[in-house]
Each structure stands twice: as C-alpha cells, then as structure tokens.
Amino acid sequence: MIPSASENNHLKSDTFDSLMSPVNHQVEQTSDGQSDNSLASLTDSNRKNLKDAVRLPDREDPNEWIANNLFDFHKQICMLFGTISEFCNAQSCPKMTAGKKYEYWWSKGPDRRPVESCASDYIDHLLDWVQEQLDDEEVFPSLSVDKKFPKNFNIVCQTIARRLFRVYAHICHHHLNTVKNLKEEAHMNTSLKHFIYFIKEFDLVPENELEPLKDYIENLTSTESLETA
C-alpha cells in the first residue's frame, strides 16, 4: 500500500510517483518570526492529553480532520526548522541524515533520479513540496469550493506525513543542543509527540519509517502515559 522508500535502512530515497511535483531548489519558506507564540500556544492547549486531541471529533469528516492537522503540522515544522535554520547549512549538515544510520536522498528530474543534498536543501524542497500539495485544490479542496477529496487522498497524506517526520528526525539528531539553547525543547517535544499520536491514530506512517527516533519517541510517549495516568 505505502510506497517504500528503500529496502536499505542506511539509505532512504523516495522514488517519486505521480504525486511528485517538480522540485524547486530556490524557495525558502521557513519563518522564525512567529515561532515562539504559536508553538507555546500549541504546548498549552495540548499538554493535558495529546492522545485525545488527535481523535476524530464527532461528526467531523475524517479527510477534513486529517487535512486540517497536516496544515497545522506543516506550519509547526516550518516554524521549528526556521528557529534553527541558520545552524543547518552545507557545512554543518552536508547530508540529509537522521543520525549515522539514516540518510535521505531527494529524487528529481524527469527520471526521478535520487540525488544527495545537504540537509537544508532537502528540507527546503520537502517543505515546499508539502506546501504545494496543501495548496492544490485538487488534493486539498477548500471548504468554499464544492469539491471532493480525491481517491488517492490517503496516499498523499501518508507521503506528506512520512516526509514531515524526517524534519523532526534531523532536528532531534543534529540540532538538539541548539533547540535546547533556544529554549525550544519543550515546544518541539510537544509538537513531535502530538504528531506521533496523530500519525498513529490514522496509520499514516509505518513503524519502520519511525526507526530513526525510536528511542526518543518511546521516551516522549512514556512520559505522556505517566502524565495522563
């Protein structure tokens, strides 16, 4: 069902299907200007019980709920990466990695050839690509437009979620000290925890894709269990 990135745990490269848009190398869309307030507000509103927060509300359309959450997570991740982006460059992070075992390549060009890139370029491409999907009325129809979600909506959402996770994974592995110095650790952990509960609730990302943060996630979610017990 879910397109597999790679058989090899040491190298993950997406082979883009028809969902893939041409890669844009130039657009920088992360923003660090508003990160504090938005992330703080998320932390406050969801600290009590993130597991409940991700569940489909009564009478809510499931696709609409998933779409709204993906909009929010994309925004949060843009902000989060924006806060550390000046520390993530071709010198500090010449490859898009999540620890020593996992490296991601970006496919581009007519033949979808996977190419190595530095983490910041990869993440820029990734966030741009997600934005393009979210802006596409054929995939994410706005409420004001009388359109239905496409048949492949869930596959698109799985791809978006799988890719967004990689930004968390890179930041946790390679920029955690910066996040701590910026006093963003609690915000990031809450955002990640919320994201993990969300993707598990709707089965959007397979377990093997979460391997790069397996221990980190176990630690985060066990803390949540204690908090809500």
Residues in touch with Zn ion (CB under 5 A): 88, 93, 119, 174
Q: What Rg do the C-alpha atoms of the chain give, in angstroms?
A: 17
134 touches 153 (CB < 8 A):
no
Closest separation in Å from C-beta 84 to Zn ion: 8
Nearer to Zn ion, 175 or 187 (CB): 175
Closest separation in Å from C-beta 92 to Zn ion: 6
Closest separation in Å from C-beta 119 to Zn ion: 4
Closest separation in Å from C-beta 178 to Zn ion: 9
Cα(19)–Cα(147) distance, integer angstroms:
19
Q: Retrieve residue 224's tokens.
A: 């949540």
Q: What's the angle, vertex CA 120, arms to CA 98 and CA 177, rounded to 5?
A: 55
Cα(101)–Cα(140) distance, integer angstroms:
34
Cα(131)–Cα(29) distance, integer angstroms:
9
Nearer to Zn ion, 174 or 194 (CB): 174
In the chain, the amino acid numbered 159 is: T
Q: Retrieve residue 7's tokens.
A: 């058989």
Cα(8)–Cα(101) distance, integer angstroms:
10
Closest separation in Å from C-beta 124 to Zn ion: 12
Nearer to Zn ion, 49 or 89 (CB): 89
